[in-house]
């Protein structure tokens, strides 16, 4: 089921204002690239630890991360 990011934690103010990411089920976060010529995205990850499925790098949640992207690259993070 696709859900807005804030559904994962309704009390997380940062997740409430994040409108360019969504959850796929309970454990996948998708941050689509919506504009051409974008090289970095600011991605907010909710509480917990998250692993990028492309690089397998682990990121801490409840903070934003700058992530390199292209229009062909869709950042996907899996909850650890």
What pLDDT score does 36 carry? 85
Q: Where are the domains of the chain?
A: 2-79
CATH superfamily of the 2-79 domain: Golgi alpha-mannosidase II (2.60.40.1180)
Work out the percent of the chain whose per-residue pLDDT is above 70.
100
- CA of 43: how far to CAs of 29, 30, 54, in Å? 10, 10, 15
Q: Across the chain, what does the average pLDDT equal?
A: 93
Residues 37-64 have a mean pLDDT of 95
| Longest Cα–Cα distance in the chain | 34
* Whole-prediction pTM: 0.91
pLDDT beyond 90 at 35? no
pLDDT for the residue numbered 66: 95
- Residue 58, pLDDT > 90, answer yes
């Amino acid at each position: 089921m696709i859900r807005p990011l804030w559904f994962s934690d309704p009390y997380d103010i940062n997740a409430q204002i994040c409108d360019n990411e969504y959850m796929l089920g309970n454990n996948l976060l998708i941050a689509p690239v919506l504009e051409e010529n974008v090289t970095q995205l600011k991605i907010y990850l909710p509480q917990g630890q998250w692993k990028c499925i492309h690089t397998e790098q682990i990121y801490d949640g409840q903070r934003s991360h700058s992530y390199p992207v292209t229009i062909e690259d869709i950042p996907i993070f899996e909850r650890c």
